[in-house]
Amino acid sequence: MRTQPRTQQGTETFQGVDMNFMETITIVVTSILASGMITVLWS
29: phi > 0 → left, psi -120 to 50 → alpha, else beta; which?
alpha
What is the model's pTM? 0.52
Low-confidence residues of the chain: pLDDT under 50: none
For the chain, the 3-state helix, strand and coil shares in percent, each to the nearest 5, are 85, 0, 15
